Chains A and B, each alone.
Chain A
Amino acid sequence: MNPALQEAFNLHQEALLAFIKKRLHDPQLADDTLHDLYLKIQNQSPSSSIKYPKAYIFRMANNLVIDVQRKAARQEQTGDDDASEQHNEIGPETLVAQAQQLNIIKQALAELPDKTRDVFRMQLLQQLEKAEVASKLGISVNMVEKHLRRAVQFCRNKLYKMEK
């Protein structure tokens, strides 16, 4: 249990519920989802330091809401009461899909211009602050931010084709 997250949850519980309810509509489902969020927070490792706890729990809530919506949409489509889904098991189809996604991103990263990829890697792998990346590559912090935004934009667009 992570104390910062727990505190954030307590502090913003009402806002979180309102957020979830606005998206899921069904009050019972909203309550259940808030409870799931609470459980997930309990399972968070205490050692992980979270920089922006309020943003973090709302991101968690957002992810949960979308997962619930997708599950509902799928069940509606396929009339699927698959036992494996209910137990949150990862079926073989899902593993293939995940592998496909990873390949798309790997390819996308390879297609990035060298500088953009370098900036991304430095920030990620060497865990450098933007100012450090900037000074290492001889570019402005502004440019570092631009490169990072471009990398995310490019990869995101590969994963979810830009719809017209």
Chain B
Amino acid sequence: MQEQGNTFIIQQANDWLVKLETGDMLAGDEERFVAWLEQDERHGEAFYQAEQAWQLMHQAEQGQPDKSIPETNLSQMKASWFKRHIMPIAAVVLLSFVSMFWWQNVYFSLFSDYYTLTGQRLEQSLPDGSVLTLNTDSAIDIRFDQNTRLIEVLSGEVYVEVAPNQPRPFVVKAGSMKVTALGTAFIVKHAAKQEPIVTVTEHSVRVESTKSVETQLVLKEGQQVALLQKGERLTSIKNVNGTLAKAWTKGKYVFQDKTFETVIAELNRYYDGKMIIRDNSLGKQLISGVLDLDKPLESLENLILPLRAKTTKITPYVILINKS
């Protein structure tokens, strides 16, 4: 989980840098910044990197470094340090097969407040005490002000635990689906090219379409519904097991009587490459079990044992699954 902590710290550092440099500090912010900087060595390191980036951005545009910010003393750095830390251009070319995944991540990292990469999970506390858990490959925007608590799920899957007893409504949007919390916990999923889906694990929510006034219902605990793009209609309510639905927040996938291909499709979400089933009959076999989503390759190996299947790696990122 260390990488997820680092992603959050990096975002905090960038946010502080922009606040300090673009004159956005409110009363007490300067103290808060210093306290944050003092809190953890990683904060210091992340902020240093943000400052360096800003220095260079300044230099690139103006032809000289920004004199108004503390010097980061680049003269102390040795070339080998950069070689280890900066991705060589050649590696970008090698990734051409999986480049569609990479660019997808880059696209959403430009347009979201928080995001996760493939296989990453991120828990994020909000200023009101609510907690968001982002699943693999997810990107969200957050807008909190005195009237609203609004989250937009740009892509991926988010588990929302809403802090209760607040006058401001808590709203989550995904595409044209708008979910208003009437209680405490639910999941919103907005996979690329698929309908947004909401699942309630605790209490209830109101589900509406921002494009059609007639579309709305109250969804209760253990219920799931999707918003169809055609006609902005909601599908019929599906009953689900809330505990199973949110098992991913603890890094587990629990399934009962699902086809092998469904399980592999799910596992693929957490794997930075592609697992392909070559055998149709193998794909249709029903299985049950529990998988560790933080170790997708290990999970795959455990999965195929009872099925008497085998895997073949054809490139560093593509795995074929066959009957042995």
Contacts and interface: CB of A to CB of B under 8 A. Distances in A.
Given A50-B68, A52-B25, A93-B78, A102 B59 contact: yes
Given A121-B61, A123-B22, A142-B143, A164 B119 contact: yes
A156 B16 CA distance: 13
Interface stretch (B80-88, B169-177, B233-241): B80-88
Contacts of A85: 76
Interface residues of A, number: 69
Interface residues of B, number: 65
Interface of A is mostly: helix
Contacts of B110: 112-113, 116, 150, 153-154
B214 interface: no
A65 B60 contact: no
Contacts of A52: 20, 25, 30, 33
B208 interface: no
B61 A156 contact: no
Contacts of A60: 70
Contacts of A38: none
Interface in B43-91: 44-45, 47-54, 56-62, 67-79, 81-82, 85-87
Interface in A25-79: 45, 48, 50-52, 54-56, 58-60, 62-67, 70-71, 74
Interface of A: 15, 19, 22-23, 45, 48, 50-52, 54-56, 58-60, 62-67, 70-71, 74, 85, 88-90, 93-94, 96-98, 100-102, 104-106, 109, 112-113, 116, 120-121, 123-125, 129-130, 142, 145-146, 148-157, 159-164
